[in-house]
Amino acid sequence: MVQRFDVSSRFAAGVQFTAGQFRTGNSGRTHAIVDPATGKEVLGYELAGPADVDEAVEAAHRAWPEWAGATPGERSDAMHRWAAVLRERTEDFVYAESLQCGKPLKLSEEFDVPGSFDNVSFFAGAARQLPGVAAGEYSGDHTSYVRREPLGVIGSVAPWNYPLQMAAWKILPAVAAGNTIVLKPSELTPLTSLMFAEAACDAGIPDGVINIVTGAGADVGETLVSHPRVAMTSFTGSTAVGRRVAELATGSVKRLHLELGGKAPFVVFDDADVRAAVHGAVAGALINSGQDCTAATRAYVQRPLYEEFVGGVAELMRSVRVGDPFAPGTDLGPLISHAHRDRVAGFVERARSCATVVTGGEAPGGELAKGAYYLPTLITDAPQDSEIVQQEVFGPVLTVLPFDGDDEGIALANDTPYGLAASAWSRDVLRTGRAEREIQAGCVWINDHIPIISEMPHGGHKASGFGKDMSAYSFEEYTQLKHVMYDITGEARKDWHRTVFGDR
Ligand code: NAD
């Protein structure tokens, strides 16, 4: 049984974390964190305003020279200590993540929290691995080599769906590489980002290396991503907000990293193990109540398997236990808020005019009526160009469409603006090999959908953004290269000078 703690007293000093201290915001506006399972307020707090961003960026700027000057080994040791402190606090993280998001305990316990802590260990190791071209006499007259250097203060903005993991994905490569950071979590879910930063300080990472400002996107988010002292903006969120962030960041010539929305296809060829595909589709569509940027949202099933797949998915969806995130045996919790639940319901209601709702399509009644719950929903017969197939719903909703030839299946998979993730299901290596090559997405799973690991990159193609989270590739994004070229001739008049004065 997870250990509950009193959130109000734990965060009595505020939900801003600057220069190693919890503080209150200074916007004059308050916000409430609400438990989406009950609709009850968990914590009221004062939001950050632009002045709090300035203060946090200044703290990060002051902390940067010392942190950048530490050796990779020193940074790595500090991050290993951080991982150890975090693991001692596992229960608190599980509780806070489930409380603020409405995640079933088993998801927080087995996925969000251990996955995030594993990321800390991974980047503690990555801090000591600086890849680059070997030094050498490439011109003949010089020795060339590269330096891989941090950029300075990173300004990051994160969403609410996996608050701890998103904080980890943004903070870890940045600080492992010697940057300092100011992260703005979603104002709906700041608790575990704050606890993550606090644990870093408790482990001996200097104050000011990691700072958290909890405020609204329109003022605090925009101030942070366009701040003149911020060298790089890394953003995870919707494609619509990503476009605005890109405008602001490019206006001030910052390096930009965008992890945006998704609409993952799930392509089932006619030789697939249909039972495996049915289980994979339900798990892939419903994980985190479907509030997962890589969730399976559009299943395309080759016609011979279509009826069996639809029947199997509907039956399995109906067996999923929707309920209190803290109750043993709950599979699916509420959505993040009542407003978001209504948004998801709106997509399904509009789809009814052109499609069939096979199961779900409503909020549950009874005891669950006060929470932001929505039943697992299966939709068939929707046209490929309809809103429900094209747009990100971000809820427990799966559409299924049939296809005939392999060409058609792959073309349908590619037929949205997004390109974050996809899966292909077949026993034929030639078919899966083709799907892997031709589906335009940052990740293609074969005969599975959802798993991620610290060592491998996560990030989108097309309107799902650019840049990679996790893995050594993400570490590279938070560093900049410098080419150093040493003259080794000692000549006053170099050979190449003749192109400017004189002859050979
Ligand atoms: P969102 O875009 O509404 O908000 C994301 C963050 O941006 C929040 O912290 C928000 O306060 C902030 N924000 C809002 N307006 C801003 C502005 N004008 N300037 C700066 N910041 C601003 O997204 P959300 O609803 O919090 O999260 C869901 C979205 O995130 C989905 O689209 C999902 O696909 C995406 N997501 C993507 C990934 C990925 O890795 N690609 C991972 C998780 C979530």
If asked whether residues 179 and 235 sit together in one domain, one would say yes
The H-or-E segment that residue 250 falls in is: helix 239-251
By alpha-carbon position, which residue is closest to atom 26 of ligand 1? Answer: 159
For every residue of 337-396, DSSP letters joined together read -HHHHHHHHHHHHHHTTTSEEEE--S---GGGGGTT----EEEES--TTSHHHHS---SS
Distance CA 448, CA 503 (A): 66
Neighbours of 393 (CB within 10 A): 24
Task: Decide if pLDDT at 466 tops 90.
Answer: yes
503 CA from centroid of ligand 1 (Å): 61
By alpha-carbon position, which residue is closest to atom 36 of ligand 1? Answer: 237
337 CA from centroid of ligand 1 (Å): 15
Q: Is 408 a catalytic residue?
A: no
If asked whether residues 436 and 373 sit together in one domain, one would say yes
CA-to-CA separations, 470 to 125, 439, 441, 458, in angstroms, rounded: 12, 22, 16, 6
If asked whether residues 284 and 427 sit together in one domain, one would say yes
At 2, the pLDDT band (50, 70, 90 cuts) reads: confident
pTM to 2 decimal places:
0.97
If asked whether residues 243 and 268 sit together in one domain, one would say no
Answer yes or no: are the C-beta atoms of 424 and 407 closer than 8 Å. Answer: no
Q: Which of 46, 187, 259, 476 is catalytic?
A: 259
Mean pLDDT of the chain: 97
**Amino acid sitting at position 443:** C
If asked whether residues 83 and 202 sit together in one domain, one would say yes
470 CA from centroid of ligand 1 (Å): 18
Taking only the tens place, the pLDDT of each residue in 355-407 is: 999 999 999 999 999 999 999 999 999 999 999 999 999 999 999 999 999 99
- In short, whether 460's Cβ falls inside 6 Å of ligand 1 is yes
- In short, whether 160's Cβ falls inside 6 Å of ligand 1 is yes
If asked whether residues 285 and 348 sit together in one domain, one would say yes
Distance CA 105, CA 331 (A): 9
Neighbours of 143 (CB within 10 A): 14
Give pLDDT, residue 382.
98
- In short, whether 270's Cβ falls inside 6 Å of ligand 1 is no
Answer yes or no: are the C-beta atoms of 437 and 227 closer than 8 Å. Answer: no
- In short, whether 157's Cβ falls inside 6 Å of ligand 1 is yes
If asked whether residues 196 and 299 sit together in one domain, one would say no
Task: Report the residue among 189, 193, 258, 293 best suited for mutation to probe ligand 1: largest number of ligand atoms under 8 A from its CB.
Answer: 293
Task: Decide if pLDDT at 504 tops 90.
Answer: no
Distance CA 257, CA 231 (A): 12
Residue 167 lies in a domain: yes
CATH of the domain at 161: 3.40.605.10
If asked whether residues 182 and 51 sit together in one domain, one would say yes
Task: Report the residue among 103, 162, 169, 186 best suited for mutation to probe ligand 1: largest number of ligand atoms under 8 A from its CB.
Answer: 186
Q: Write out the residue range of the structural domain in which residue 80 sits.
A: 35-260+464-483
User: Residue 158 has which token pair?
Assistant: 């994160």
Task: Report the residue among 112, 161, 394, 462 best suited for mutation to probe ligand 1: largest number of ligand atoms under 8 A from its CB.
Answer: 161
Average pLDDT estimate for 126-153? 96
Residue 112 lies in a domain: yes
174 CA from centroid of ligand 1 (Å): 19
Residue 29 lies in a domain: no
Residue 17 lies in a domain: no
**Amino acid sitting at position 284:** G
Local structure of 209: helix, strand or coil: coil
Taking only the tens place, the pLDDT of each residue in 246-296 is: 999 988 899 999 999 999 999 999 999 999 999 999 999 999 999 999 999
Taking only the tens place, the pLDDT of each residue in 405-463 is: 999 999 999 999 999 999 999 999 999 999 999 999 999 999 999 999 999 999 999 99
Distance CA 37, CA 369 (A): 9
- In short, whether 244's Cβ falls inside 6 Å of ligand 1 is yes
CA-to-CA separations, 53 to 49, 214, 338, in angstroms, rounded: 7, 9, 29
- In short, whether 260's Cβ falls inside 6 Å of ligand 1 is yes
Task: Decide if pLDDT at 106 tops 80.
Answer: yes
Name the domain count of the chain.
Answer: 2
**Amino acid sitting at position 269:** F
415 CA from centroid of ligand 1 (Å): 23
If asked whether residues 337 and 195 sit together in one domain, one would say no
Task: Decide if pLDDT at 119 tops 90.
Answer: yes
Residue 30 lies in a domain: no
If asked whether residues 232 and 281 sit together in one domain, one would say no
Residue 420 lies in a domain: yes
Q: What angle in degrees, to the nearest 10, is found between the helix axes of 72-88 and 113-126?
A: 160
If asked whether residues 279 and 250 sit together in one domain, one would say no
User: Residue 498 has which token pair?
Assistant: 């003749």
User: In terms of C-beta distances under 8 Å and separation of at least 24 residues, what long-range contacts does 305-312 make, across chains too?
Assistant: 305/268, 305/270, 305/272, 305/274, 305/277, 306/400, 306/402, 308/274, 309/268, 309/274, 309/277, 309/278, 309/281, 309/400, 310/358, 310/378, 310/380, 310/400, 312/274, 312/275, 312/278
159 CA from centroid of ligand 1 (Å): 4
Task: Decide if pLDDT at 503 tops 90.
Answer: no
Task: Report the residue among 27, 100, 157, 390 best suited for mutation to probe ligand 1: largest number of ligand atoms under 8 A from its CB.
Answer: 157
DSSP assigned state of 130: -
Residue 15 lies in a domain: no
Contacts of residue 249, defined as CB under 8 A and 6 or more positions apart, other chains included, come to: 225, 226, 233, 256
Residue 452 lies in a domain: no
Give pLDDT, residue 421.
98
Answer yes or no: are the C-beta atoms of 414 and 388 closer than 8 Å. Answer: no
Contacts of residue 184, defined as CB under 8 A and 6 or more positions apart, other chains included, come to: 48, 155, 156, 157, 158, 212, 213, 214, 215, 217, 220, 221, 224
The H-or-E segment that residue 231 falls in is: strand 230-236
At 183, the pLDDT band (50, 70, 90 cuts) reads: very high
Contacts of residue 272, defined as CB under 8 A and 6 or more positions apart, other chains included, come to: 305, 425, 426, 427, 447
Average pLDDT estimate for 234-238? 97
245 CA from centroid of ligand 1 (Å): 10
* Residue 18 CA from chain centroid, whole number: 23
Q: Which of 304, 263, 302 is nearest to 408 (CA)?
A: 302
Task: Decide if pLDDT at 116 tops 90.
Answer: yes
133 CA from centroid of ligand 1 (Å): 36
Task: Decide if pLDDT at 1 tops 90.
Answer: no
Q: State what percent of residues in the chain have pLDDT above 70.
A: 100
Answer yes or no: are the C-beta atoms of 380 and 355 closer than 8 Å. Answer: yes
DSSP assigned state of 218: I
CATH of the domain at 440: 3.40.309.10
Phi, psi dihedrals of residue 58, rounded to the nearest 5° = -60, -40
* Least reliable range by pLDDT among 71-75, 107-111, 449-453, 474-478: 474-478
By alpha-carbon position, which residue is closest to atom 13 of ligand 1? Answer: 217
If asked whether residues 290 and 304 sit together in one domain, one would say yes
- In short, whether 262's Cβ falls inside 6 Å of ligand 1 is yes
Q: Is 1 exposed, middle or buried (0-12, 13-18, 19+ CB in 10 A)?
A: exposed
- In short, whether 161's Cβ falls inside 6 Å of ligand 1 is yes
